[in-house]
Amino acid sequence: MAFWGAPEKHDDDALQSVLSGLEMLDSVAKFNENQRKLGKCEFKIGIGLNYGEVTVGNIGSERKMDYTVIGDSVNLASRMEGLTKTYHSEILISESLFDELRKTSSTTGLYFRLLDTVAVKGKTKGVRIFTLKKSLSAAEQKAWPIHNQGMKLYYNRSFREAAEKFKEALGILPGDFNAENMFNRCTDYASNPPPENWNGVEVMKTK
């Protein structure tokens, strides 16, 4: 676990957390490239990032004391890390972190893709989750905006139109898990609409 904003706070803490996560992924990719050359197994990691209030300080007992953070925001970051497996994404950020990045105009040079709205285990309130990259392939540059358009249609309950967008994204990125996941969900909802009080939240049953 790592945290920013304590003991010293900086205006770009939110951005630095994201850049650190992306640099970790770059380092793992280079490491795995060497592993492949050596015929050894590769390593995979998942990174979950959240922004919010925490309790920070020296926490523990006389035998063992750590300067650390605790609280719901920390727990959500941990759950986000677990969701990287569910959504087949190496890095996920929460809605609150995404909003903070936009508020501080720190999104320059970053590309975002909205994947879902989830209520992590033990919670009822939904949180939108995003993945992001510093650079996109030519196919991703076409597909990600289309995917995000599909998400807007999805939350507006325009399920058939949303399904068409995700199908279009799949045509550009064949086998893409998240586009296929949303295409299947929208196709199902188009035939079997959710209740009127539906808010787009997927409730997670596991950590």
Which of 135, 156, 179 is at the close of a domain?
Answer: 135
Locate 51 and state its tokens. Answer: 């922004």
Query: Are 35 and 57 contained in the same domain?
Result: yes
Q: Tell me, yes or no, whether 128 and 57 share the same domain.
A: yes
Q: Are residues 126 and 158 in the same domain?
A: no
Q: Are residues 195 and 128 in the same domain?
A: no
Strands 127-133, 201-203: pairing is: unpaired
Residue 144 and residue 128 in one domain: no
Pair 114, 179 in one domain: no
**Do residues 93 and 99 lie in contact, with contact meaning Cβ atoms separated by under 8 Å?**
no
For the chain, 207 residues long, give each residue's pLDDT as a single digit of tens. 999 988 888 889 999 999 999 999 999 999 999 999 999 999 999 999 999 988 888 888 878 888 888 889 999 999 999 999 999 999 999 999 999 998 876 666 899 999 999 998 767 789 999 999 999 999 999 999 999 999 999 999 999 999 999 999 999 999 999 999 999 999 999 999 999 999 999 887 666
Start-to-end CA span in the chain (Å):
17
The parent domain of residue 8 ranges over 1-135
Q: Do 187 and 115 share a structural domain?
A: no
Give the dihedral sign, CA 205/130/164/124: positive
Say whether both 149 and 116 belong to one domain: no
Whether residues 112 and 23 share a domain: the answer is yes
Last-in-domain residue among 88, 108, 135: 135
Claim to verify: residue 101 and residue 170 sit in the same structural domain: no
20 & 110 share domain: yes
Instruction: Look at residues 119, 135, 151 and tell me which one is the last residue of a structural domain.
Output: 135
